[in-house]
Structure 1
Amino acid sequence: MTQSRRMLVLRAVVEDYIRSQEPVGSSAVAHNHDLGVSSATIRNDMAALEDEGYLTQPHTSAGRIPTEKGYRYFVDRLATIAPISEAQRRGINSFLSGSVSLEDTLHRAARLLAQITGQVAVVASPSLSKSTLRHVEIVPVSMSALLAVVITDTGRVAQHLLSMGVMPRTDELSRFCTRVNAVCDGQTLAQAARITRDMITDPQWQPMRQLAESLAGAFASMADDERTSELYMAGTSRLAHQRPLADLAPLFDALEEQVVLMKLMSALSEEVDENGVSVAIGSETHTPGLLHASVVTSGYGRIDTAAGEPDADGTAERPEGSEPVAFVGSIGPTHMDYATTMAAVRAVARYLTAFLAHDGPATHS
């Protein structure tokens, strides 16, 4: 009995169980898969796989189901994820390109991913702490206050009211604003705060000290404000129709803990494999409510124009080593269709990356 054949049996059991959600017997494996050995040989292999912790036998059924270890082996051997179909790619582009804003795009992305996978989809908005400054506009709104409108590379717009003891002249304000945009463009908000504060060491900006310090404070508070990452979720009702509610109670409790979910999926999105996705199965999530669930996640983020050409999925791939600004993911039972879910998560993540790179809805043909 060879180890390689035994693992082919394991793969067959996982595939059949994902498809049927019924314990898999040796005769079914022999019938459904051309392994070139008898049902009795397969039965012996399955017994060995059970001894090694890859399979388990529920109740007294003759069939077996994969364990967490079995699923992990199966997922790790999905060396390459087949691209989504041409029809699916067109469907993604058509559905998401109809959006009118970043928020609308993220909401649509969650709904679409839930529809493709039949599972819970979670999409996070870009975190301001990971965004870079694109433009700031400062306008008077009263005799003693200015409004700073800050636009980031991820399309987020934030407004900050700056109280002023002495209002700067219009020409001074315009010159200061031009300078801030020149030296802070492309910098993170934390870096923009430091650069703006450093400006007042230059004698020409001394009269603008109060404005510089107030604006730097606004940049710093945005950089620290992780609450600006919102979660867009879809598919919970669809999942509820597939399984008894009692089985899903821990999962729904976990979905309510959005801060925990955010940390888990954000961390996973920064540890993607060569396929651009990360998978945590059961106890690997370190989340009690997800002990019988799996999480598939990918990060999306900024890309260079040169690296942003559409790939086989019709979307731009985030370059290796670049930091994701947010994540997209799918949560479902451990017997989920991993190949389909991983491909869908990756495709939506790449679309969102292209969306950010092109300042709006992508129109890849």
Structure 2
Amino acid sequence: MSNEDFEIFLVATPGLEQPLASEARELGWQPVVQPGGVAIRGGWPDVWRANLWLRGATRVLARVGSFRAMHLAQLDKRSRKFPWAEVLRKDVAVRVEATCKASRIYHAKAATQRIERAIQEELGATIAPDAQVVVKVRIEDDLVTISLDTTGESLHKRGHKEAVAKAPMRETMAAMFLREMGYDGSQAVLDPMCGSGTFPIEAAEMAAGMAPGRSRSFAFETLASFRPRIWQDLCAESPNRPPAARFYGSDRDAGAIRMSVANAMRAGVAEAISFECRQIADLQPPDCDPGLVILNPPYGTRIGNKGPLYGLHAAMGEVFRERFKGWKIGIITSEAGLAKATGLKFLPAGPIVAHGGLKIRLWQTAPLG
């Protein structure tokens, strides 16, 4: 493999590949949308930067090499010749995950065992089922592609959010839904059902230019290719400017508000966000220029049953129409009927997004007249 330039695959939440591609483009890469994510090219510093800075990626895979193999003996021979020492350390445990598709090698477990043995015997590394370093092997059309999961724990785990409400919105998804609404860091953002505060916290971090991965560690720190000094320089690039806008979260549940405040403090954005306990019926627009209202209300399949939710959505729509002139409204739901119950005029619905076994989408309005 070339250390300078290889394919890097940014795994996306299915349905959110396009906003992730636009985020990658803004960070200076030339993204190509592929099923399940976005491919870019670069070297190891690009891998580290992608983990540190991308808000919409779930994980970052470094595609470190490929070769053809028609049968297991060939897979065994070629995987023993692979330059494992360039990317893996022999003192760090590894696990291997293999998949086979449309190939003469069709037995994924046998393929996994061959590659594990090659790593064990040629490099001297331990194979462990709970290892943080994962070698992902895809055998498709007899081409063996070897990737390293450079992330470790999923990137939606930013490292500064401990308290989570029920039915939470993942940070990666929240950031991409904000992007889909045209959020650029300059607008006020309000979530009137804020749960553990994900939308206002993500919006405030984006406005402050904070790196989403600043509070956590990554699997790439235990690879042979890791250079701590370059990584420290990359981490020092986070500008952390004071946000130009303010952010707002409210919820009828006092416990959710306490959680949101604690999460915002850990994230370092508490001063930019106002949280308060209030019902949707009592919602008033904050004293600022119109911005974005974005919320992830209950949708029946998630909490309780649907009956009362139609009334809730109708009341919500009325509050927005009467009090939020000039604001754009974004509602994330799995039920088109609930979105329509608001009586708001929506733009064409966003793509279907996979979320915990549900299919959700963003319904957004133009600025309300």
TM-score by length of 1: 0.24
More strand, by proportion: 2
Query: Which structure: larger Rg?
Result: 1
Structure ranking higher on relative contact order (CA contacts 8 Å, 6+ apart): 1
- Normalised TM-score (structure 2): 0.24
